[in-house]
Structure 1
Amino acid sequence: MSVNLARDAVPHALETRIDRMHRRDRIGAMAFVVVLWFVVLFVLWSIWPDITNGAIRTILCICGAGLLVLNTAAILAMLRHYESDKHFIYSLDLMHLDEMRRQKRV
């Protein structure tokens, strides 16, 4: 089975569903990044008074910053990739979702 998923070959209804699904995924990914930043900074702020060793404070700050920067960069790279390849990714997803719905009805 060959699937032609060029942008010009995608019907308008499918294009709308792809855009809607992509928008939800972008919102979810960005919400994850915001929550991750909030949680890491909150934990660092909460435990800061209990850590008296300057070396451990430095290590925690560096590791926390590394965690935040690398995870944020990975999510942004994923979103860029999904944007450029969303028709292929989401067309297949929607095709399988539609098939599962048809199977449930039978």
Structure 2
Amino acid sequence: MNNKIKNRIQNMYLRDCIMAWADVLLIWLAVGFVLISILSILEDPVIRWVMIISSALLVFFNTASVGAMTKHYAEDKEFIYGLDIKHLDENRAAKR
């Protein structure tokens, strides 16, 4: 595989990782905002703890899934992005 394609693969991979982790950050912020807003309304301590624990589980599993996804992408990025690049180049050539 030549350096130009390797650079394109690496750029696509980095862009996907940045977007995935930015989404994780946004989910953490959104869940945190909603949790803080809801906790001020709730009076029952049991429900408050259920909300805290379920919110923590939500962000934990979401973060873990993005971590696993980016790890998998890193392991197979030549195959995953190589196929994308091949199709993108074929589509560009067909449009000309």
TM-score (norm. length: structure 1): 0.87
Segments of structure 2 that go 5 or more residues without pairing to the other structure are none
Distance 1:17 1:26 in 2: 14
**One-letter code aligned to 1:51:** L
Quote the offset at 1:57 in angstroms: 0.6
Aligned-residue CA RMSD (Å): 0.7
- AA in 2 matched with 1:47: I
Gaps of 5+ in 1: 1-9
| Aligned length, in residue pairs | 96
Q: Which runs of 4+ in 1 moved over 4 A?
A: none
Residue number in structure 2 paired with 1:22: 13
Percent identity between the aligned chains? 44
1:11 aligned to 2:11?
no
What is the CA distance between 1:23 and its match in structure 2?
A: 0.6
Aligned to 2:93: 102
1:52 to partner: Cα distance: 0.7
Q: How much has 1:47 moved relative to structure 2?
A: 1.5
Q: TM-score, normalised by structure 2?
A: 0.96
How far apart in 1 are the matches of 2:84 and 2:73? Answer: 13
